[in-house]
Each structure stands twice: as C-alpha cells, then as structure tokens.
Amino acid sequence: MLKLFARLAFKNLWRHTRRSLLTVASICCGCAVIIWMQAIIHGRNENMINVITSTYTGHVQIYHPDYLKTKLTSKFITQDQFAKDIAPLLGNTTWTTRQHLPSLISSGEDSVPIQLEGIDPEREAQITNLRDKKIKGEFLNAQESCQNKEVFIGQGLAEVLNVDVGDKLVLLTNASDGTLGNDLFRVQGIFASGSPDFDKGMAFTPIKCTQELALIGGPHEVVLKPSGEGDADSMSAALIPQLPNYKVSTWREAIPSVDTMIRYNDAMLKMITFILFTVITMGLINTILMNLFERTKEFGVILSIGMTPRELQLLIFLECFFLGVLGIFIGTMMGALAIYYHQWTGFDMSPFFGTRTGSEGFTFDMVIRPIFIFGPYLKIIALELCFLIVAGLYPAWKVSKLNPIEVLRS
C-alpha cells in the first residue's frame, strides 16, 4: 500500500512541473549554500587554529600549577618532576619544552623589553613552523650545553635594534634566585612570522642557554601536539585527571579571543541556517497550499469513493517529502561542486574582511580552503528534513478536514 501511495505522490508532483521545479530549486539552493558555508567556516576556523598553534602557542600546554598566576621565573617544572609525572604519559606524542624569561635586550645603542624563549630547536621544529619563517641566517642549533650563545630574533626587533646576522646583543633577565642574569649573545638568524607584534616582542635561544642565564632547573611549559585524528580538547581532557598537580590547558585558554571568534563563526552559521530554512519552509507551505486549493474537488472525489482522511494525509505528506528529498539531493551535489571548486582555487575573503585580519598579534590567511566534514553535513540534512516535514504537516491536516459532500457541491 505504501509503495502505491509513493508512486501516486511522485506522479502528482509533475502535474504542475514548473511549480514543482521552482520549489525544488529553492530547497536545493538553500541546502547548497548552507553546506558550502559550513565548509568555508570550518576551513576558516581550522586556519585560525593552525596559525596560532603552528606559530607559537601549540595545541596543549602543561605548566607548574602556580606559573600562570604569578609568571615567576622560579615556578618551573623540575627535571625530576618531568621525568616522573609527565614523560611516562607522552608516549608517541610530539612534544617540546620551553622556558619563558621576561628580558631586556640591548644592542649597545638601544634597549627593548622582550619575551626570551628557551627552546629545544629540534623538538620545536616538530611543533611550530618557526624554523620555516627564517629570512636571514640560520635557525638555532641543538646544544648539549650553551657553548654557542645564539639568539633567533624577529625582523621587527632587528630593525628596532639596528642589528643583522652575526651582530652581538646583550640579554638581561631576572634569575630564579633573585639575581640579575646577563650575557652576550650573537644573532644566529632573523625570522618574519607575518605578525609585527610577535616579531618585535619575541626572541629565541637554546633552552640550555636560558637555563644558565636564569639558573632554571626545568621547563616552565611542556607543549604537546596531538597525533592522528586527535584534537587538543580530547588530549587535554585525558591529561587533566592524570596530572592533578599541574595546570593543563589548550590553545583556547592561551588565546581566548580566537576561541571567541570561532564560537561566533559557528553561532552565525546556526543563525543563518535557521533563518534560511524557515524561509524555505514558508515557501514550501505556500506552494503545497496552492496545489491543494486547485485539487480540492479531486480530493472530494477520492474521499467519497473510499479513501480515508488518514490515507489522504499520507499522500500529501509524501508529496512534500519527495520535494524535500529531491531538493536536498540536488543541493548536496551543488554544494559539493562549490566546495571542490574552492578547495582547488581557494575562497578569497579579503573583499569582506579587508587585506588582513588577526587577533593577539596573529595574522590569519584571507584565502580559505573549505573543509567538508560528514558529521555536520548530516546534521544540516537532518535539520532541513525536519523543517520540510513540518511544512507538510499543516497542509496534510487541512486536507484531512475536508467534507466530501460540501466539496462536491461547491
């Protein structure tokens, strides 16, 4: 019986071909736009996350429990604590250690306050793309001890200090015992991250050098990068109960403004989806009601010869359902083609946001490659089907209330 009603409902759609095609077109265009927008926004979000994590922040960070509150040089993780508590949990995870020293850097003529970062050059290159940002000289060399006092500085800082590769700089910082640590370093290389603030305010040196300069016996921060399909949130959630005596955070806590921007993007997509689907639903209801008005006498006849109101409801509902499924199918194909095209060419957002956008000193790409994710796509399709089902309920209910005798008389 259901098969018979389905065939009849499908045939009824093409009795008014132009009207049906216009309805399908509105559904498929709305579906295609939402699928494409979802991929563009997800691509934008992933680009923002990639920029902040690959430039410096990293995905997951582990700190001494008091470091973030005080930012004191003395609040570091000792080597024994690292070996006992943290190292056994790392497994095959990509990680590195860092030391953070608020410092003063001087070229003799000028002095500038900076953040001096002690890093493991080899491990840092697996977490961030700092080494790839080099424009002059060389990246830092891994050292067992601080034999060569090398510093890697930003282009903006080099311009302020008027120095180049090979020039000497004096670094001064507060040591962990309260004394003043200072030493002479040579500029090993110059980088350009694309962020003027970052380039002027950061300098990097091997972690062995910061240990000697500030008398630090361990890292202030352990930075982790998820492997495979893992993400920062799941890794952080797994580590927090295993490291109750440490502070575990993600890039979301490190750069909250970027997390806010991503949540705003997702919220805007949900709002646009709801508005667009509501407009499509209203248009579909209008189309179905016009169709029913023209077929009122026909409904009176089929009700008078034995079709029940419930069966007539099913027939109208199936007509609406087929319109929706056809529109969703074509819309998915259109959306997939648009996504594929922009994955190849990129989608330039500069006409909408200007030539540069950023946050916390980070500059984000303006040409976005959309990223299609199957889970959100299914949610979009399910939501659109729910809207279309709702669109079919009212016309079906209205038809079921027809009185065959009154219809035939009129």
How big, in percent rounded to 5, are the helix, strand and coil portions of the chain?
60, 20, 20
User: Residue 403's pLDDT is what?
Assistant: 66
Q: How far apart are CA 10 and CA 14, in angstroms?
A: 7
Paired with 109 in beta bridges are none
**Using an 8 Å Cβ cutoff, are 77 and 223 in contact?**
no
126: which residues sit within 8 A by CB, 6+ positions away? 94, 96, 225
Phi-psi sector, 360: left (phi>0), alpha (psi -120 to 50), beta: left
* Residue 9: predicted pLDDT: 74
In Å, how far from its chain's centre is CA 342? 17
Q: What is the DSSP string of 224-237?
A: EE--TT--HHHHHH
Q: For residue range 114-124, what is the model confidence (pLDDT) as tens digits? A: 999 999 999 99
Cα–Cα distance measured from residue 400 to residue 47, given in angstroms and rounded to the nearest whole number: 53
Q: What is the 3-state secondary structure (H, E, C) of 95-140?
A: EEEEEEEEEEEECCCCEEEEEEEEECHHHHHHHCCCHHHEEEECCC
Q: What residues have CB less than 8 Å from 409, skipping those under 6 apart? A: none
CB 269 within 8 A of CB 277: no
Strand partners, 202: 115
Residues 6 or more apart whose Cβ sits within 8 Å of residue 235? 59, 60, 93, 224, 226, 250
Distance separating alpha carbons of residues 293 and 401, to the nearest angstrom: 13
Q: What is the pLDDT of residue 410?
A: 63
Strands of 143-179, DSSP E: 150-154, 168-174
pLDDT score at 353? 67
DSSP-assigned states of every residue in 250-264: EHHHHSHHHHHHHHH
Cβ proximity of 35 and 383 under 8 Å: no
Dig out the tokens for 280 from the structure: 């499509």
Instruction: Give the pLDDT score at 394.
Output: 72
CB-count burial class (<10 Å; 0-12, 13-18, 19+) for 123: middle
Output the six-digit token pair for 15: 């009795």
Q: Note down pLDDT in tens along the chain; length 410 residues.
A: 667 767 777 777 777 778 778 888 888 888 899 899 999 999 988 888 888 888 888 899 999 999 988 888 889 999 899 999 998 988 888 999 999 999 999 987 788 999 999 999 999 999 998 899 999 999 998 887 888 899 999 999 999 999 999 999 999 998 887 788 888 999 999 999 878 888 899 999 999 999 988 888 889 999 998 876 558 888 898 899 999 999 999 998 888 888 888 899 889 888 888 888 888 877 777 777 777 777 777 777 777 777 777 777 777 778 778 888 888 899 999 999 999 999 898 888 777 766 555 555 567 777 888 988 888 888 888 888 887 777 777 777 777 676 666 656 66
Cβ 200 vs Cβ 160: under 8 Å: yes
CB-based contact 243:86 (threshold 8 Å): yes
Q: How far is residue 9's CA from residue 18's CA, in Å, rounded to a whole number?
A: 16
Residue 247 DSSP symbol: E
**Residue 105 backbone zone (phi > 0: left; psi -120 to 50: alpha; other: beta):** beta
- Phi (first) and psi of residue 143, to 5 degrees: -135, 140
Instruction: Answer for the pair 13, 323: CB distance below 8 angstroms, yes or no.
Output: yes
- As a residue count, the chain comes to 410
Asked if 45 contacts 251 with a C-beta cutoff of 8 angstroms, the reply is no
How far, in whole angstroms, is CA 260 from its chain's centroid? 11
Q: Are 187 and 163 in contact (CB under 8 A)?
A: yes
Element holding 311 (H helix, E strand): helix 309-345
Which amino acid is present at 33? V
pLDDT at 113: 93
Beta-bridge partners for 180: 174
Question: In which region does residue 355 sit, left (phi positive, over 0), alpha (psi from -120 to 50) or beta (all else)?
Answer: alpha
